[in-house]
Amino acid sequence: MASVPRLPAAHAPPRTSIPAALPFLCPSSSPRVAPPPATGPRRLVAVAAARAMPWPHVLTVAGSDSGAGAGIQADIKACAALGVYCSSVVTAVTAQNTVGVQGVHAVPEEFVGEQLRSVLSDMSVDVVKTGMLPSAGVVKVLCDSLRKFPVKALVVDPVMVSTSGDTLSGPSTLATYRDELFSMADIVTPNVKEASKLLGDVSLHTISDMRNAAESIYKLGPKHVLVKGGDMPDSPDAIDVFFDGKEFIELHGLRIRTHNTHGTGCTLASCIAAELAKGAKMLQAVQVAKKFVESALYHSKDLVIGNGPQGPFDHLFNLKSPLYKMGSRQKFNPDDLFLYAVTDSGMNKKWGRSIKDAVRAAIEGGATIVQLREKDSETREFLEAAKACVEICKSSGVPLLINDRIDIALACNADGVHVGQSDMPAWEVRELLGPGKIIGVSCKTVAQAEQAWKDGADYIGCGGVFPTTTKANNPTLGFDGLRTVCSASKLPVVAIGGINAGNADSVMELGLPNLKGVAVVSALFDRECVMTETRNLRSILMNACARS
């Protein structure tokens, strides 16, 4: 069921978050008046409730990296970047820098156990993430502690060899991993080198090899396996293989050309742990983690720290100046799909309005996302209009996408693109646009929706729900087709095709999973007053959501 997003910044009243457990609430059009501050017993109850609010908590059990690129330092930074508290149990102290590892001092097993008892007995840990476990004894101590103090999930990153080639765990530790720790793990995240060692130095050179390795490691006991292919130099993409015991899923990402890759494995596992602590499902957590690492590598690719062959990367790139951001927005919000306005050059000309005026009117009426679909405009004219629309949308906090034209999206620094099945696949679009941009894909079938997710799209447009004249040869799916795709989609969905003020409420009242909103063309732009039509449609959608 769709949730009602914020109004554009220029029109939005102050908003408070609504706990997920509460029934759906639509905000009223007028600002709410805050109640007077609580006093006496009421204030004590309020303070107690505030203190009881859970803070997602990850405990990292790993080694310390003096260079701060990997280990517990990377884990803490990654969790902080994703808004999760991270405590730490240090298993070893290393002397290392960008050149390599110069020394390792293991923390006594008894003291590792004391650290674990200290944190787990007091601090309500949600997820434990493991990194460097230097001895079989430390692995056993960890397993004993987790049996005594169970947590929601265990993420195991089997750190055995540093990227520089230094050995961090011996053969006896590998055996204990396999025999004791893996059976307790919710996910194990080896890279190809670690997967090879876990399986007796088998050769891993292809995606098929990675699948076989994932299946073999799964048989050792974990609920999920992620074999990471970032170290496979012959692959043009960074491809990871996820296996849940039933299905193999290939996760494609950009291969960022940089030497600042120290700590990628630690960071990925910590991000998975952080998302699990926040309540995400495993597949979703893995996808978020992969995108975070990809973005961090991209934004840090030209940084210089140290003189060695492998430098650290910046986990906190989102806190930096706009120079480090891919466009005007930092993160895609599925709620932005609520009222998706798609411009049309022919309709704008019919009513004597410019693209710029049409976009401004739609935003003033309450559109939450805008797509420029200008099939008939000349490239130079379209680019100039797109640049103007980017500024309008940026000032209002509304994302702007370009239909099909990736060249225009790059040239005007739009927030993303929307492509169809006959256009460039989403993974190729991502290679051109880089991380951080929004990518939507039109889909009519479950298979197309699944492929869009695998290719790294952010959302899908599903339709046509009703007959439409804005696109030739567009079969009508109806409610049944929309329901089938929405129920299977792992991505947020916006309904498209023939939607207008007379039928939009019936779409939203379906209450379909992942359906976040409707996309509209002629119902807004083939009208005399775009702002009035948009405002009316938004009101219809909000009322429909309230009823459902």
- What distance lies between CA 454 and its chain's CA centroid? 13
Active site residue 265: yes
DSSP, res 262: B
Which of these, 396, 393, 420, lies nearest to 406 by C-alpha position?
Answer: 420
Active site residue 228: yes
Catalytic residue among 263, 397, 464, 498: 263
DSSP, res 23: P
| Buried-exposed string 370-399: b where 16+ CB fall within 10 A, e elsewhere | bbbbbeebeeeebbebbebbbebbbebbbb
* 3-state percent helix, strand, coil for the chain, nearest multiple of 5: 40, 20, 40
Distance CA 240, CA 246 (A): 16
Active site residue 266: yes
DSSP H helical ranges for 220-373: 264-277, 282-300, 345-350, 355-365
Catalytic residue among 77, 129, 228, 516: 228
* Residue appearing with tokens 């990871």: 240
Catalytic residue among 94, 264, 267, 468: 264
Active site residue 140: no
DSSP, res 381: H
Distance CA 548, CA 505 (A): 10
Q: Which residues contact 112 (CB under 8 A, 6 or more apart)?
A: 61, 89, 90, 91, 138, 141, 142
Active site residue 478: no
Active site residue 230: no
Catalytic residue among 69, 265, 366, 481: 265
Catalytic residue among 91, 130, 176, 261: 261
Distance CA 369, CA 342 (A): 9
Catalytic residue among 86, 137, 230, 266: 266
Token readout for 525 is: 């732009």
> Which residues belong to the active site?
228, 261, 263-266
